Structure 1
Amino acid sequence: MTTHSTRHSLSTLEMMRRLIAAPSVSSASVHHDQSNLVVIEQLHEWLEALGFNTEAMPVPGHPEKANLIATLGSGPGGLVLSGHTDTVPCDPELWRSDPFFLTERDNRLYGLGTCDMKGFFALAIEAAKHFLDQPLKQPLIILATADEESSMSGARALAEAGRPLARAAVIGEPTRLQPIRMHKGIIMESVRIQGRSGHSSDPSLGANALEAMHAVMSELLTLRSELQQKHRNAQFRVDIPTLNLGCIHGGDSSNRICGRCELEYDLRPLPGMSIDGLRNAISERLRPLNDRFGVKIETHSQFPGIPPFETPADSELVRLAERLTGHRAEAVAFGTEAPFLQSLGMDTIVMGPGSIDQAHQPDEYLALDQISPTVALLRNLIAHYCL
């Protein structure tokens, strides 16, 4: 008979090594996108062996992607420790070591996903081992999601399914173990204008899509100014909503009336601002330009968007995290799965080992001195919510 004491002999670093060795890039580009099933299967095997009730949930519309819900104990309430199984693409030639091989040097662990954020799973499992032979009053749930780095299809699928449910959720993104209770939202949009080409010597022969796009850009920048005058949050380093005109493509020759033009931009709203409301406002602003320039203007979303996120400063989880870490809860500009878990009714924060400064670039690492404090912090959270 297998006992808990013999089940969990796999070391934290060995778990991390195996997770890093399993490529699971997610990308909007089909060329780069990969399945996450190998990572899900590995976590499933480890957690089931530890006594967790494990369920792999396919992500609708993505046959090679899945989420994993692993539950120790039963009943309502409890704690979710959540992470994403995917990574961004990488350029191996820019790394000093193999990004898919966990390498220790300079008191750091190097590898793709060490801090963002496969390493968190190994530390969450290590923290959970402490409670295997203790009767939990409320469940501990380790949640592994798909496609956070691209479409967030995994988190969206969970929100639509209404699972998992608990009192509190901690997302282990790299925050240097500082609690994060707010972040901005993200929408990435495109504006496509179909005009009518013609000889440049006679403007009446066509409808210039570039001239119409000039007016579109003017409207967007005016709206940006209005939003920034109306909305401000001093918790953020950049304390206003931002709108960035990212790239533009149009026309083919200086002596032809431009027949088609496309603009891509991103908008990062503050907590309290509605993504749907912003999209509707932009559409209303641009609609009169169709007739004014004799063109067809279409707006498209590059992905469904990430809502802004905020957990109240006086929430139980925020206060507990502040007390355990000695750090006041802060705000960040990057987006996470937090609004999707929060939509399930859970008190939610973002807090994990490593720094976002090391993510998404060559030689990503997790400092060794983050490991013990992370395990201790997670054990304290589990004890509070589950014992």
Structure 2
Amino acid sequence: MTFDLKLYSDQLAQLVAQPSVSCSDPQWDMGNRKVLDLLADWLEARGFQCELLAVPGKSGKHNLIATKGSGAGGLVLSGHSDTVPYDQNRWQSDPFSLTERDGKLYGLGATDMKGFFPAVLAAIDAVADQPLAQPLIVIATADEESSMSGARALMELGRPKARYAVIGEPTELRPVRMHKGIMMESIRVRGASGHSSNPALGKNALETMHGVISELLTYRSELQTRYRNPGFQVDVPTMNLGCIHGGDNPNRICAECELHFDLRALPGMDNDELRAAIYRRLRPIAERSGTDIVLSELFAGVEPFEQDEHSALVKACERLTGHTSEAVAFATEAPFLQSLGMETLVLGPGSINQAHQPDEFIDIQQLAPAVDILSGLIDRFCIQPDTAASEAPVSDKRN
């Protein structure tokens, strides 16, 4: 079946035209129902049963689960329906009106990641004349760009159930089987104010925070000595001290100081264990200084992700793309789907380099190959699931 660029562009234009920004700032945050309604209409017309599931505690936020076929195996094709906020005055064109220029389709979410869904629809159409021996499930989630509440809600429900899952984040059609986790944390030191002429009149939160920062940097060095993974461009866990606020005047003892930082762990590390270790290291500082030190989450966090390089899904994606699987630094919803018992991998058209910035685009040259890969995955895991799992060795196309 020949790839229909006009149909793809028409569908993507409709998705882009429906704003679905998710953001921790309520002034930006909005629902995603209109995007899911479009997807549900298109999928129902292709024989899928569609469920729209409200995300608990998130007004206007929904997940879509669309299912065709039945069985204990099958394939999930997953994407998120939301986008990041945008700087309209920095766009050369309307971010909500898909625009083609120089072989690229421009629009908010074009690559991250509304552009994945029309490719899925085209892949479904390409194999429509072949019956499914195992189910094909398409899911679209809410709030990936902010809290990942959509994926967390699906994990709590224990759905969807399948054997394999591919998340269509923009990877330039290279299979990704590993990514780092992410924690975003706050440390608040509470001391006591007083006149700066006599330090005994208060407890200086800034001075205590100096000790906190020294301890964090020591811990970072220990983690980077202990953990290393050559599959990543930055092959050690990282910790970034992002912002700090404290005090109000030079002649007052600082009563309160707050630090925000992130920690990106490698596969094999655990966010809860890291958080507990930080808490244990901060407690003696609080006792010595007589201050309160409170560690809290700014964001629920995403665990590190790794899929076995010898798994059937990794082998199939390597064969279909001609690229060996690799690692990326950004986090995805992969750990949530993997926790449901599915072999999971990240693979989609477009480049992460175009995401989260003005004039976001998806390269048209990526689209037909993406459809071929997706239809190949549907064939391998839904139409002919009994195909031998062993795949021929991959010759990586990269030079």
Q: Which category describes the TM-score, using the shorter chain as reference length?
A: over 0.9
Aligned-partner Cα distance in 2 for 1:334–1:134? 36
Superposed counterparts of 1:259-338, under 5 Å: 259-338=255-334
Aligned-partner Cα distance in 2 for 1:315–1:9? 33
Structure 1 position 131, deviation (Å): 2.9
Range 124-133 or range 107-116, more displaced: 124-133
Superposed counterparts of 1:333-344, under 5 Å: 333-344=329-340
Partner of 1:190: 186
Matched, 1:165 2:161: yes
Give secondary structure in 2 for the equivalent of 1:64: coil
Partner of 1:180: 176
Superposed counterparts of 1:346-361, under 5 Å: 346-361=342-357
Structure 1 position 134, deviation (Å): 2.3
What whole-Å deviation, never above 9, does each CA across 1:327-368 have from its counterpart, x for those lacking one? 110000000000000000111000000100000001100011
Maintained 8 Å contact 1:51/1:132: no
Structure 1 position 210, deviation (Å): 0.2
Structure 1 position 33, deviation (Å): 0.5
Q: 1:230 aligns with which of 214, 226, 233?
A: 226
Structure 1 position 63, deviation (Å): 2.3
Aligned-partner Cα distance in 2 for 1:142–1:288? 50
Structure 1 position 12, deviation (Å): 1.4
Range 282-291 or range 8-17, more displaced: 8-17
Aligned-partner Cα distance in 2 for 1:12–1:58? 28
Matched, 1:94 2:90: yes
Partner of 1:46: 42
Structure 1 counterpart of 2:313, which letter?
Answer: L
Structure 2 counterpart of 1:315, which letter?
Answer: S
Q: 2:128 aligns with which of 132, 135, 153?
A: 132
Range 70-79 or range 201-210, more displaced: 70-79
Q: 2:107 aligns with which of 111, 128, 133?
A: 111
Aligned-partner Cα distance in 1 for 2:88–2:141? 25
Aligned-partner Cα distance in 1 for 2:267–2:351? 23
Structure 2 counterpart of 1:156, which letter?
Answer: R
Partner of 1:60: 56
Give secondary structure in 2 for the equivalent of 1:70: strand
Structure 1 position 76, deviation (Å): 1.4
Partner of 2:65: 69
Partner of 2:396: none
Change (3 A) 1:256 1:9: closer
Aligned-partner Cα distance in 1 for 2:174–2:233? 16
Structure 1 position 133, deviation (Å): 3.5
TM-score (norm 2): 0.94
Structure 1 position 130, deviation (Å): 2.4
Q: 1:22 aligns with which of 14, 18, 41?
A: 18
Structure 2 counterpart of 1:255, which letter?
Answer: N
Give secondary structure in 1 for the equivalent of 2:134: coil
Structure 1 position 46, deviation (Å): 1.2
Structure 2 counterpart of 1:175, which letter?
Answer: T
Aligned-partner Cα distance in 2 for 1:77–1:112? 35
Partner of 2:390: none
Aligned-partner Cα distance in 2 for 1:34–1:10? 29
Aligned-partner Cα distance in 2 for 1:67–1:297? 38
Give secondary structure in 1 for the equivalent of 2:263: strand
Moved over 2 A (4+): 130-134
Partner of 2:397: none
Aligned-partner Cα distance in 1 for 2:69–2:218? 54
Aligned-partner Cα distance in 2 for 1:129–1:65? 28
Q: 1:200 aligns with which of 177, 196, 202?
A: 196
Q: 2:32 aligns with which of 30, 36, 44?
A: 36
Q: 2:377 aligns with which of 353, 358, 381?
A: 381
Q: CA RMSD in A?
A: 1.2
Structure 1 position 73, deviation (Å): 1.0
Structure 1 position 75, deviation (Å): 1.6
Aligned-partner Cα distance in 2 for 1:141–1:132? 14
What whole-Å deviation, never above 9, does each CA across 1:32-79 have from its counterpart, x for those lacking one? 101011101111111112110111111111121010000111121111
Aligned-partner Cα distance in 2 for 1:285–1:178? 40
Aligned-partner Cα distance in 2 for 1:49–1:61? 31
Partner of 1:84: 80
What whole-Å deviation, never above 9, does each CA across 1:190-219 have from its counterpart, x for those lacking one? 001111000111000000000000000011
Q: How many residues align?
A: 380
Change (3 A) 1:379 1:311: same
Aligned-partner Cα distance in 2 for 1:284–1:255? 33
Aligned-partner Cα distance in 2 for 1:229–1:63? 44
Partner of 1:3: none
